[in-house]
Structure formats: structure tokens, C-alpha cells
Amino acid sequence: MKSSFRQVEILDIARREGKVEVEDLARRFGVTVQTIRRDLTELDSAGRLDRVHGGAIVASGTANLAYDDRRRHLVAEKAAIARLCASKIPDDCSVFLNIGTSTEAVAAELRHHRNLLVITNNMNIANTLAGNSECEVVVTGGTVRRGDGGLIGTMTVKAIRSFKFDYAVIGCSALDEDGDVLDYDIQEVGVSQTIIAQARAPLLVADHSKLHRSAPARICSLADVEAVFSDRPLPEKLQTACRSWGTEVFVADGA
């Protein structure tokens, strides 16, 4: 396989899994570890991946992946996380669902819940739940972010402050080793912080790739959420921190 084709596949694996390892890639492609190291070095130089010890991760930066790329990323894992999260949300309650492909997956799992009031700043979520006759959907309003149908800005924040909801489901772009929940869009961060402040039980949904990424804006700490849902166990340091904060950690089976 030519290096250019191999590098395209390496990028695809990195986007799906969050991280690639030299020895694993060498086995997959039937080449030497030296060949893979050269590939990763070239991808790092091109700004496509960030080299780390033993492999590489999706390149950090100040901009998120395109919405379509995120929607196709770890689909089965997000679905498993969403099922688990939705199972913790009872009928007869109010819930806010934020912007993100993971929160959209949760919305899909709420289509058969009964007597829900759902508030959202995500047009995709509103459309998903509009077919549930047992669900009243309220859209916050705000400035439409054309890339993903999200609503952001001061109007959105003002609308959210009019509510006090039982649950809030938020996503993130990255989760660092200190337990800080991170994102790229400063305006979206302000919206997420308002959502957390207005929720009795904020819930975070984050697949394992978020642990291998970085983003410049801080939403909150895992100490500020009731529970985090992922598809793989958190690193031991984070698990210990969550226990001390009283933050529950749920790992989806069959992710």
C-alpha cells in the first residue's frame, strides 16, 4: 500500500478511536514500526495528527471537527452511551439537551419516554423528538450555528435562565486529566455553563476519544456534574477524583 493511502486510513482510524499506536498500526498494515513512525511524523508535520509517546492522537487546535465527521465518529459507542444515559432519565420529568452528536444520540433514545418536557438549543434534537406525542419540546431561540443546527448567544442564555429543569445532558469536545470539561466555541461554553447552573442533575456524555483531545475553553469540572457516561472506564486518576467529588461514573456495556 502506498504511504499516501495508508496515511488516509491511519487518519480515519485516529478519528474513530481517538488515538493510534505504532505497534498496532504496524500489525494492521503489515509494515515495520519504522514505516509507521515515518507516516505519523509526516502526518504530525502536516498538522493532521499530534505525535505522542507510542503513537499519535487527533490534532488539537482551536477548531472542532466538522459536524458530519463528528456525526460519523464512534457511532456505536455513542449509541451505547446514549442508551445508558436515557435509562437514568425517568418519565414525567424535565430535561435539557445541549448541542452535540452525543446529546443527539440521547434524544433518539428518549423518543419513547412519556410525559417529558424537553428544552433544547439544538434544532436536530427538536426535530428528533417532535414525533413523540408524549414529549413537549421547547426550543430556546438564539443565533443558529449553521454547521450543526445549534443555537447560541445571549438570547439563548436568557431563555435558559427562565427554566429550572430536573436533568441536563451536555457533551464536550475534550476531557483532560484534571477532570476539566472543555470545548472550542466560547459562546457555546457560556451556554453550557448556564445549562449546568439551571439543572438539578447535570449529566455529561463523553466517548473515550475526548480523553485524547484538547480544547481551549473550560466549561466546568467533573465535580460540577452529577454523573458522567462513557464507553470506556476513565483513567484511574479521574476515577479517584470523581469518587472524591461524588460524581458517578457509568460505563456503557457493549459499546
Residue 135 has a CB neighbour count (10 Å cut-off) of 20
The predicted pLDDT at position 61 comes to 59
Choice among 101-110, 197-206, 213-222 with the minimum mean pLDDT: 213-222
Query: At the top level of CATH, which class does the domain 67-251 belong to?
Result: alpha beta
d(CA 26, CA 35): 8
137-150 pLDDT, tens digit each: 999 999 998 888 89
Kindly state the cell numbers that stand for 165: 429543569
d(CA 34, CA 95): 51
d(CA 79, CA 13): 19
Residue 115 has pLDDT above 60, yes or no: yes
CA angle (196 as vertex; 84, 67 as ends), nearest 5: 65
156-191 pLDDT, tens digit each: 999 999 999 999 999 999 999 999 999 988 888 999
Confidence of residue 195 (pLDDT cuts 50, 70, 90): very high
Mean pLDDT on 211-222: 90
d(CA 181, CA 11): 25
Kindly state the cell numbers that stand for 203: 449529566
34-75 pLDDT, tens digit each: 999 999 999 988 778 878 888 988 766 555 666 676 777 788
Among all chains, which residue has been given the C-alpha cell 443527539?
Answer: 104
Residue 204 has pLDDT above 90, yes or no: yes
DSSP letter for each residue of 132-162:
-TTEEEEE---EEETTTTEEESHHHHHHHTT
Contact criterion met (CB below 8 Å) for 86 and 97: no
Domain 3-58 and domain 67-251, same fold? Reply is no
d(CA 140, CA 123): 10
d(CA 243, CA 253): 21
d(CA 130, CA 116): 12
Q: Structural domain boundaries of the chain?
A: 3-58, 67-251
Contact criterion met (CB below 8 Å) for 24 and 81: no
Residue 2 has pLDDT above 80, yes or no: no
Residue 1 has pLDDT above 80, yes or no: no
Kindly state the cell numbers that stand for 71: 456525526
46 secondary structure, DSSP code: T
CA 76 to chain centre: 13
Q: What is the CATH number of domain 3-58?
A: 1.10.10.10
Kindly state the cell numbers that stand for 7: 496515511
Reported pTM: 0.79
Q: What average pLDDT is seen over the chain? A: 91
Range list of H helices, the chain: 3-17, 22-29, 33-45, 67-71, 75-87, 101-109, 123-129, 154-160, 186-197, 236-245
Angle between helical axes of 33-45 and 3-17 (0-180°, round to 10): 80
